[in-house]
Structure 1
Amino acid sequence: MASRMSFALAFSIAILFSSISTGSAVRKLLDTTPPPSPLLPSIPNLPTVTLPPLPSMPKLAVPPMPSIPNTLPQPTLPTLPTTQPTRPKPGTLPPLPSFPSVPTNIPKVTLPPLPSMPSIPTTIPSIPFFSPPPAPTSP
Structure 2
Amino acid sequence: MIIMLSLDVCLAARYLLDTPAAPPPALGLPTIPSLPKATLPPLPSVPTLPTTTLPPLPTLPTQPTLPKSTLPPLPSTQVPTLPTMPTVPKVTLPPLPATPLPTIPTTIPSIPNIPTTIPTIPFFSPPPSN
Q: Which is greater in Rg?
A: 2
The TM-score with structure 1 as length reference comes to 0.28
Q: Give 1 or 2: higher helix fraction.
A: 1
What TM-score, normalized by structure 2, do the two folds share?
0.30
